[in-house]
Structure 1
Amino acid sequence: MYYHITTYYDLVGTKKIPCKCPNCGNRDSLELEFFQVRTQSGFLETTTKGVTGILYCTHTKTEIPPVIWTDEIENYFNVEKKKLKLKPTKIRFKVENKKWFYTIFGILTLFILGGIAYAKYNMHQTEVLNERLENITPGDKVEVLYTLMENHSVKQSGTTWFLVKKVDGNVAWLQRNKDYVEDHNFNFDKQDTDFNGETIEVNLKQLNKRGVFGLDYTNQKFSGFITDIE
């Protein structure tokens, strides 16, 4: 989307100067008008520090272009420009667009607050999951994003659940659910009788850190990441 930029010149002062007119030679007819630059584009209106001027001859009733200003006129212009009381420089939203601005601002605020709330929720859920894994016991069920490797290549990857069958020392025994799928949202049956797949031994310390690595997988190397616990 493109917006046309419109420039406005707001009169901020006038000053008669006793300089010789470059056109008619009169010394009592020159008047400087000072203008502060203001721009509008899209939603914004900006008052700048920029000042420009017009030199007008009241005798001939003509404007004197800057290209024929004398050094004396230039000096008066620069001196008087410093004395002006300019409007404060600012950026504001155009009145007719304030409704749209506040609507967009409100939507963005809701998105940001929603993102913060979602991040805090995920952080809390992660803390709860980690705490439960540190105290894992037989009968718990864990959801695992897993990868099976064979001959240095991926044989299978997806999501499944494991039932904790036994915990002893630094080792836990997990038995896989009958289902394993690529869709994370698959509705698993998680009755104890549904866990009739292979049983693997995993390092308990790694499991507490959400990692699942088979210790005695001689035919297939197993690795996984725990995403949920029940």
Structure 2
Amino acid sequence: MPEKFIEVKEVNLKNNCPVCYSNEHLQITFYQKIKESKLYKWLTSEVKNEMTCANCESTIYPVQWTDDIERVYDYHRKAFHPNKSTFRLKVLGWVVIVFVAIVLVGVGFTLFYSKL
């Protein structure tokens, strides 16, 4: 079952990059986890984020953050609202459920009429 993260929101920051010291090139990207199989598609509530610099193309890890970056990050994390967690069956999932329901009804009728 492949799990991947889809991009939900990207925010440009006006802070200096701690690596290259360029201004207004930092970006926070929020991702939400999605699980998909042949039977269903499930958008989970699990969220991760990543901070990058568009100028030097490096990932900025929390160890490198300044107090200003941390304050701005906390603000955007609190303001971010992920998509609702959803679970949807695909066509094959519905076919399996209908088949199992028909088999259970058939077994129930067989047991009921065999006692008569």
List aligned pairs for 1:209-224, cutoff 5 A: none
Bigger Rg over Cα: 1
For the structure 1 residues 56 and 44, does the alpha-carbon distance in structure 2 shift closer, same or farther, using more than 3 Å as the test? same
1:44 aligns with 2:40: yes
Mapped contact 1:14–1:32 kept (Cα < 8 A) = yes
- Counterpart contact for 1:10–1:38, Cα < 8 Å: yes
Q: 1:197-226, CA deviations, whole angstroms, 9 ceiling, x for partnerless residues?
A: xxxxxxxxxxxxxxxxxxxxxxxxxxxxxx
| SS of residue in 2 equivalent to 1:118 | helix
Relative contact order (C-alpha < 8 Å, sep 6+): which is higher?
Answer: 2
**Deviation of 1:70 (Å):** 1.4
Segments of structure 2 that go 5 or more residues without pairing to the other structure are none
Structure 2 residue 3 is the aligned partner of structure 1 residue 7: yes
**Displacement after TM superposition at 1:113 (Å):** 0.8
Report what 1:111 is aligned to: 103
Unaligned runs of 5+ in 1: 126-230
1:77-96 Cα offsets, whole Å, 9 max, x none, are 343133223222122234xx
Aligned residues: 115
Following the alignment from structure 1 to structure 2, what is the Cα–Cα distance between the partners of residues 14 and 102?
Answer: 35
- Post-superposition offset of 1:107: 2.0
TM-score (norm 1): 0.42
**What TM-score do you get using the length of structure 2 for normalisation?**
0.75
Q: Which has the higher strand share?
A: 1
When you count helix as a share of all residues, which structure comes out higher? 2
Distance 1:58 1:102, change over 3 A: closer
Partner amino acid, structure 1, of 2:100: L
Which position in structure 1 is the counterpart of 2:61?
66
Q: 1:24 pairs with 10, 14, 20, which one?
A: 20
Q: 1:84 aligns with which of 74, 80, 86?
A: 80
Given the alignment of the two structures, is residue 102 of structure 1 paired with residue 85 of structure 2, yes or no?
no
Identical residues among aligned pairs (%): 16
Q: What are the superposed Cα offsets for residues 46-98 of structure 1, whole Å, 9 maximum, x if unpaired?
A: 211122222222333x132425441533453343133223222122234xxx1
Name which of 53, 56, 72 aligns with 1:57. 53
* Cα RMSD after superposing both structures: 2.5
> What amino acid is the match of 1:22?
P
- Quickly say closer, same or farther: Cα 1:91–1:116, change in 2 above 3 A: same
Cα 1:109–1:88 shift into 2, 3 Å = same
Q: 1:12-63: CA deviations, max 9, x gaps?
A: 1122224331101234321212111212234222211122222222333x13
